[in-house]
Amino acid sequence: MSNLDQQNRLVEWFRRWRTPLRRFLASRSAVRPADFDDVAQEVFLRLLRYDAAQIVEHPQAYLFKMASNVAAEWSIRSSNRLLHEPHWLATLAANDSPEQALDTEAAQREILRALNTLSPRERAILKLYFEEGLTQAQIASRLNVSFRIVRRDFEKSYGKLRRELNDELTRVLQHGHE
Amino acid sequence: MDTNDRRARATHEASQWWNRLSLQKPAEVSQSERELFTEWLRESPLHVAEFLRVAQVHDSLERFKLWSEVEVGGFEQPANVVPLRDMDLPEAAEVSVKARSRARTWAIAASSCLIAILGAWFALGLRGDVIESKLAERRQVMLEDGTVVQLEPETRLRVKFADELRRVELEQGRALFRVAKNPQRPFLVTAEQTSVRAVGTAFGVESRLRGVVVTVAEGKVAVIDSPSAQASGAEIFLTAGQQVTVQDSGAVAPVRVVDTTRALAWAQGQLVFENDTLADVVREFNRYNRVQLSITDAELAARKVSGVFEATDSETLLAFIRESGNDVTITRSDARIVIGSNTR
C-alpha cells in the first residue's frame, strides 16, 4: 500500500467537510458559548427538514455547512442585539491588537493545561497523531498497544478535552489565525 | 438519566463518531455508517451540539503548537515497552471487551440497515398493534418514536405506546431493539413474566424454550424478572456486553459477560452454535428457511455441533454435516431435506 495513495484519499476526504467546518468555526467568533446550544438546536431543526438521503451523501459537510450558516445568521442577530454588551465590545477590541497574541498564547496554555489532565498514554497518542502525523495504526505499533486501545483513548481524550477546554479562550484561537 | 448524563453520553457518542468518520479509515466510511451517523444527528439537538464541540476540540488540537511541552511519561520510548505492557494487560483485556461490543454494535446497526425496508414507517394506527414475521422472514420496523425493531423469523410483538410509557410485548421469537432515547418515556419490553426497561440503548430479547434471554449491545437496561420483583423494585441492571437468562421457573441465571458479537450474531443473520445438538441446530435453521430440514436418526440428532453459519445458507450446514461423518445421507424433496444415517 503506497503512502501517497493513502495521502490522496485523506485529502479527498478532508476536502469534503473541511471548508464548511472552518467557516463554521470562524463564524463562531461571534457566537457566545452560552448560545452554542441554541445554535445547535437550530442546526438540528434544519437537519430534520432536509431529506435524509441527501444528507447521507456527505453528512459532515452538510452539518458544518448548516452550522456555519446558522452561526453567521446568529452573529448578525446578536450583533444587533448585543452591540453594547461588554463581551461584544471586548471581541471587537481584541481584533488585530497586541492582546490577540496574548490571548492566543493564553489559549495555547489553556490547551496545554487541558492536555495535562489526560493520562500519559492519552497524551502520548495525541502527540504522535498531531505532532508527528502518525496514523492510529502506526501509533498502536509505536507504543506497542492494540489498535483498540488507541481508538478508545482517542475517544476518551476528546470527551475529556471537550469538558476541560475553556470555550472562551479557544474561541480566540479559532479566528486568531488563517 | 439527568441532563448531565445525557450530555456525557452524547459527548461520548460524538467522540466515537468523530473517531470513525474523521480520524480513521477516511475513505472507507460506508454508506450504512453514514446513514447511521445521519440518523444519530437527527435524533437530538444534543447530538448536533456535542458533535460540533468535538469538532472544535479537534480543531484546537490541530492548532496547538506547544506539543514539545506535553509530557508523556514513559510512553514515547519504545525501550519502555516491556514494563508498560505488563502494566497494560488487565486494562487491555477489559478494553477489548468494550471495544468489541462497540464494534459489534456498529456491525449490528450497519447490518440492520441492509435488511431491506429501512424506515418502513408505521406511524399511524400502531397503538396496540401486532407486528409479526413469518417463517424465514426477517424484517425491520421503525416504531412511531423512532425506535428500530429488528424481528427475527416467527416473531410476534404487540406494541402499546402510551404518553408516559412505551411498551412492547414480545409474544414469541426474538428481536433486537435500538431504542430511541427519551428519558421521559421509558421503553419497556415484556416477554412472559420478564420486563426489560431501557432509556436509549440497543439490546436483544429472545423468548426461548429455556426462558427469556436478554443481551445488551449498547447502553444499560434494567431487567425485572417478575411482576412481584417490579413491585418490590428488585431489578437486575445489565450493561453493554452482559446477558441474563430468566428461566420459566422464574429462576434467574447469574449475569454473564458475553461476547456480544456471538450472542447477538442472529441480528446479523448469523447463527452461532457451541456444543449444541444437531437437533437444536436444525430447529434454529428451520425458523430462517422455507426448505425445512429434518433428522431421522436419533444418534445423529444428538451429535454436538459448534460453528458459525449464515442463517439462510443451509447448504453450508449440510456440507458441514456431511463432512462430519461418512455415514450421513441427505435426501432432498421440494420443501424438505431429510438428514439420515445409512448405518441402520
Q: Is A89 part of a structural domain of the chain?
A: no
Q: Are A170 and B60 in contact (CB under 8 A)?
A: yes
Residues 138-157 of A with CB under 8 A from B: 142-146, 148-149, 151-152, 154-156
Residues A99 and A165: their CA atoms lie apart, in Å, by 20
Residue B202 has pLDDT above 70, yes or no: yes
Residues A176 and A117 in one domain: yes
Q: Which single residue is written with the C-alpha cell 426477517?
A: B138
The pLDDT of residue B111? 46
Closest-CA residue to A58 (of A100, A105, A21, A102): A21
Q: Is A113 part of a structural domain of the chain?
A: yes
Residue B37 has pLDDT above 70, yes or no: yes
Lowest mean per-residue pLDDT among A94-98, B85-89, B182-186: B85-89
Q: Which single residue is written with the C-alpha cell 437496561?
A: B221
State the residue range of the domain holding A46. 1-83
Residues A177 and A110 in one domain: yes
Residues A102 and A175 in one domain: yes
**Which runs of E-coded beta strand occur in B219-343?**
220-224, 236-239, 242-247, 256-257, 270-277, 292-295, 304-310, 328-332, 336-341
Residues A160 and A108 in one domain: yes
Which residue in chain B is spatially nearest to A123 when comparing CA positions?
A: B72
Rounded alpha-carbon distances, angstroms, from residue A92 to A97, A99, A172, B56: 10, 11, 12, 22
Q: Model confidence at B199, in pLDDT bands (50, 70, 90)?
A: low
Residues A122 and A176 in one domain: yes
Q: Is A88 part of a structural domain of the chain?
A: no
Mean pLDDT of B62-85: 62
Residue from A115, A122, A166 to probe the interface with B (highest B Cβ count within 10 Å): A115
The per-residue pLDDT for range B218-230, each reduced to its tens digit, is 888 888 877 666 5
Residues A64 and A118 in one domain: no
Is B81 part of the contact surface with chain A (CB cutoff 8 Å)? yes
Residues A67 and A119 in one domain: no
Domain boundary among A53, A83, A113: A83
The pLDDT of residue B220? 82
Residues A155 and A112 in one domain: yes
Q: B48–A21: do the CB atoms touch at under 8 Å?
A: no
The pLDDT of residue B19? 86
Q: Is A59 part of a structural domain of the chain?
A: yes
Q: Closest Cα of chain A to B110: distance in Å?
A: 14
Q: Is residue B129 classed exposed, middle or buried when 0-12, 13-18 and 19+ CB atoms within 10 A define those classes?
A: middle
Residues B23 and B58: their CA atoms lie apart, in Å, by 10
Domain boundary among A59, A83, A107: A83
Which residue in chain A is spatially nearest to B41 when comparing CA positions?
A: A44
Q: A165–B60: do the CB atoms touch at under 8 Å?
A: yes
Q: Are B205 and B189 in contact (CB under 8 A)?
A: yes
Identity of the amino acid at B219: G
Q: Closest Cα of chain A to B260: distance in Å?
A: 16
Enumerate domains of chain B plus CATH numbers: 3-114 (no CATH), 129-263 (2.60.120.1440), 269-341 (3.55.50.30)
ipTM of the complex in this document: 0.77
Residues 82-101 of A with CB under 8 A from B: none
Q: Closest Cα of chain A to B1: distance in Å?
A: 18
CATH number at residue A164: 1.10.10.10
The pLDDT of residue B83? 30
Q: Are B85 and A131 in contact (CB under 8 A)?
A: no
Strand order across the B292-295 sheet: B292-295, B336-341, B328-332
DSSP class per residue in A36-55:
HHHHHHHHHHHHHHS-HHHH
Number of domains in chain A: 2
Q: Closest Cα of chain B to A44: distance in Å?
A: 5
Is A64 part of the contact surface with chain B (CB cutoff 8 Å)? yes
Residues A79 and A126 in one domain: no
Q: Is A90 part of a structural domain of the chain?
A: no
Q: What are the chain B neighbours of A174 within 8 Å (beta carbons)?
A: 56, 59-60, 63
Residue B122 has pLDDT above 60, yes or no: no
Beta bridge partners of residue B123, listed in sequence order: none
Q: What are the chain B neighbours of A172 within 8 Å (beta carbons)?
A: none
Is B117 part of the contact surface with chain A (CB cutoff 8 Å)? no
C-alpha cell at A59: 453528512
> Running DSSP on this structure, what letter comes out for residue B60?
H
Residues A36 and A69 in one domain: yes
The whole-model pTM stands at: 0.44
> Running DSSP on this structure, what letter comes out for residue B136?
T
Residues A1 and A79 in one domain: yes
Residues 82-111 of B with CB under 8 A from A: 84-85, 88, 91-92, 95-96, 98-100
- The total of other beta-carbon atoms located within 10 Å of residue B142's CB is 18
Q: Closest Cα of chain B to A93: distance in Å?
A: 22
Domain boundary among A83, A106, A133: A83
Residues A51 and A2 in one domain: yes
Q: What are the chain B neighbours of A144 within 8 Å (beta carbons)?
A: 78, 81, 84-85
Helices and strands per DSSP (H, E), number in chain B: 9, 18
Q: Closest Cα of chain A to B154: distance in Å?
A: 31
C-alpha cell at A32: 457566545
Mean pLDDT of B36-47: 88
Q: A40–B74: do the CB atoms touch at under 8 Å?
A: no
The per-residue pLDDT for range B239-281, each reduced to its tens digit, is 888 898 888 777 777 888 888 878 888 887 888 888 888 898 8
Residue among A127, A146, A174 whose CB faces B67 most closely: A127
Closest-CA residue to A116 (of B91, B7, B73): B73
Query: Is residue B168 within a helix (H) or strand (E), and if so which, with residue range?
Result: strand B166-178
Give me the residues of chain A with pLDDT under 70, please. 1-20, 22-34, 75-103, 166-178
The per-residue pLDDT for range B289-310, each reduced to its tens digit, is 888 899 888 888 888 888 888 8
The pLDDT of residue A166? 59
Q: Are B197 and B104 in contact (CB under 8 A)?
A: no
Residue B160: φ, ψ to 5°? -130, 95
The pLDDT of residue B185? 84
Which residue in chain B is spatially nearest to A136 when comparing CA positions?
A: B24
C-alpha cell at B73: 511519561
Mean pLDDT of all residues belonging to chain B = 76
Mean pLDDT of B141-167: 85
Q: A173–B60: do the CB atoms touch at under 8 Å?
A: yes
